Amino acid sequence: MLRKGELRVGLSGNQPPLNAKNKAGQIIGMDAALARLIADKMGVALKNHWFNEKIWMKELP
């Protein structure tokens, strides 16, 4: 993470108030704010395109 200089985070975008999409299509909410804070404290980039939509239940065994 530090070598690449970026933090990648996957959020569904449909779990308010943890994460949701605003009218502009950006992911907002507590999870997004925490990810931005962590990236800032680590001195790495967190770009909106790293907030990938994921259907979590399909990933579970």
SS (H, E, C) 11-42: CCCEECCCEEECCCCCEECHHHHHHHHHHHHH
pLDDT at residue 48, as a whole number: 58
Range of the domain at 24: 1-45
pTM of the predicted protein model: 0.69
Low-confidence ranges of the chain (pLDDT < 70): 47-61
pLDDT at residue 53, as a whole number: 53
Strand pairing partners for 15? 19
As a whole number of angstroms, the distance between CA 32 and CA 35 comes to 5
Flag whether 33 is in a domain.
yes
- The domain tally of the chain equals 1
Flag whether 57 is in a domain.
no
